[in-house]
Amino acid sequence: MSIKNTLSNPLTGLAIVISFSLIAIFVAAYLTDLKKKQAKNEVATTMSSIKVSIETVVKLEESDKRKKKPREICNSPECITLSYQLLNWKDSNIDPCDDFQKFVCGKYPKDSEPGNSKSIEKDEKIVPRISDFLNKSDSSDSKSENLMQLYYKKCLENSEKNLETFEETQKLWYQEIFSDIRKVGSWPSAEKNWDESKFDLNEILSKMAESRILNFGLFKLQKDSKSRNLNLVAPGSLRWNKKILEGILNSNEFSTESLEQDLQDVDAFSKKIQDLKNENSNFEDLESLTSHIPSIDFDEIIRKFAKQDEKIEEVLRKKIRVGGSELFFGKHDNLENILKTTSNRTLANFLILKFVQEAVKEIPSDFRSSKSMDCGKIAIHHFPQTAIQIMTKNYDDKKENLKTVSKIFDDVRDSYIEIVRNSTKIPNESKNTILDKLKNMEKKIAYSKEDLDLDKEFGKLDFSTTDSYYTLSKKLIRFKNDKILEYITEESLLDPQDSIQSITPFYNRSQNSMLILVPITDDPVFGPNYPKSSKIASIGSLIAQAIGESIDFTGQDEQRKCLIDQYNQNESGNTHNQTLLMNNLVSQQYAMEATWQTFKNLDSSEERIIPGFKEEDDEKLFFQLYALNSCGQNFNQLFSNMKKFAEVFNCPAGSPMNPDSRCELF
């Protein structure tokens, strides 16, 4: 049968179709089975991947939990004390957005002011150590330490004398005092035939100035507590010890016959001055004082006080501020009228008694008081910087603390540089000057000869082993008052009136250097166990304020005017020197911003938490810590100008601490 006939057979065609269909079915089945196996494998692979991913996520979460373990509570005594102050000094009934000052310090106790329990505690630790050092017979290689030691031992000699030898010593003191009185002027009470016509008020006042006396009885000069200015203000009351006055007269073989009546006249004159000494917060210029009291030659007094050095005199005149006392500027009764209606004899006696009051301050008034003299404290009072040097060199183990302070200074300065560099408000011509100053500012931490040459500072103080205790005290007081003059005129870095507990950094403009004294590492601003954020808010703020005061932020006229207008509105215009106030307001605002920036740059993951607070309280706590150091002052203006403050405390728009308009400095 041919192929053609075979294919044309219907049965054969059917068989072929069936065969192809079966093949197609088998192929389809095979392919379906293959796809199922592949899908199964893909699902298995996918599930395996998911499992690995889940395991990885779990491991990462566990690792992250280990990394973000809860921060520890700071249970050190310093932190507990700080927690107590933060929680108990604030007034929780006050909304921080309404009055942050009252919120932080509303229950601030007055007896927490500097100079109370904390100072006494510090004295109890320091005085025995300093006394132990000064008791050593070996001399030091430091002149200032040797001077301090000599003064201390002269003090001890007096405290160890019996009654008879003390009275002999006291008689010698009185003879020395009378010799000094003669250099100033004649004392009517000591001269039977005193000639009233020879009295010259300005001659006595000028000689008192040459003797480096600051309290002239009719007025006094005192260093401003917050700036390098010299304030001429109403005097304190005149107090005299009649036994001392009689002792001076008797020791020099003068009669005390007229003393009683002279003292009554002086007392009446002194009361007239005290009745008019009411001060207000305003300050006047020297020219205004001169015109109101022409009887006193203030120009000559300043010339004598400036050692007749024209350059010093020129600087000093710019630094003198006259207190707005009724005694000076009263419309009816004032010092000028009192002087014109008082006898020359009473005026002369009054000035001599004031001189005596200043002269006997440092010597014991009687045998009993000589036995109770604490010579260690007295020596520290007169040689505070030397005491710091002794503590640093011989006793202090504050090296780690000082490293911390040094690091904070660097961080705060870096924050200032960042703020100035990014500022859109500081004129470009001022930016480079400020940045150069900040970058080149030298820091001097601690206190020793390497930081400041105390031997050079005390170079002009000449003590002799043959000097009496009175003579040593007289030389020391005159030396310290000379140093006040040098400090005010910026010839000296240190303020001689600062105690050993001074925590204020000092800026030397001529050297562009900041001196940070050792006591800044002590309570209350520093605790070795404080969290870093607390140290920044306390020590960092002090350093930031000192740096801010050292910078001349001129050129921001609009911003500066905004601050002064804002202050005058809040304080009812109660200001004395608008320029000085404006500079202070600007520097405070910059200091706040720099301290905040330093805090924000801190990695707080390992920071311990102050008891009573939570991790999320960090930013609020910073502002509270910063403010805690300024209780007693109104700092609301400072914080209300910070937008970040309002954000942290979620203050409603328009509230006192989140005003609609701010003074933007940066």
More confident residue, 455 or 43: 455
- Helix (H) / strand (E) element for 507: namely strand 506-508
pLDDT score of 28 more than 50:
yes
At the top level of CATH, the class of 161-373 is mainly alpha
Query: Which residues, at least 6 apart from 124, have a Cβ–Cβ distance to it below 8 Å?
Result: none
**The CA-based dihedral angle spanning residues 452, 453, 458, 464, taken in that order and rounded to the nearest 10 degrees:** 140
The mean-pLDDT minimum among 72-76, 271-275, 415-419, 493-497 falls in 493-497
The mean-pLDDT minimum among 231-235, 333-337, 487-491, 534-538 falls in 487-491
Contact 65, 602 (CB under 8 A): no
Q: Identify the CATH number of the domain defined by range 70-109+399-445+522-666.
A: 3.40.390.10
pLDDT band at 620 (very low <50, low <70, confident <90, very high): very high
Helices (H), 285-325: 286-292, 298-305, 310-319
Contact 433, 323 (CB under 8 A): no
The mean-pLDDT minimum among 177-181, 281-285, 517-521 falls in 517-521
pLDDT score of 436 more than 60:
yes
pLDDT score of 577 more than 60:
no
pLDDT score of 2 more than 50:
no
- β-pairing verdict for 220-223 and 230-233: antiparallel
DSSP class per residue in 158-181: HHT--HHHHHHHHHHHHHHHHHHH
What stretches of 327-472 adopt beta strand conformation (E)? 442-445
Locate 465 and state its tokens: 């082993």
- The model's pTM is 0.64
What stretches of 404-488 adopt beta strand conformation (E)? 442-445
Mean per-residue pLDDT, 133-142: 84
Query: Which residues, at least 6 apart from 373, have a Cβ–Cβ distance to it below 8 Å?
Result: 155, 158, 159, 364
More confident residue, 343 or 29: 343
Mean per-residue pLDDT, 181-194: 94
DSSP type of residue 517: -
pLDDT band at 126 (very low <50, low <70, confident <90, very high): confident
- pLDDT for position 58: 47
What stretches of 408-467 adopt beta strand conformation (E)? 442-445
More confident residue, 532 or 556: 532
Distance CA 365, CA 384 (A): 24
Give me the residue spans of the domains in the chain.
Answer: 3-67, 70-109+399-445+522-666, 161-373
- pLDDT for position 429: 82
More confident residue, 90 or 66: 90
Distance CA 379, CA 392 (A): 17
pLDDT band at 35 (very low <50, low <70, confident <90, very high): low
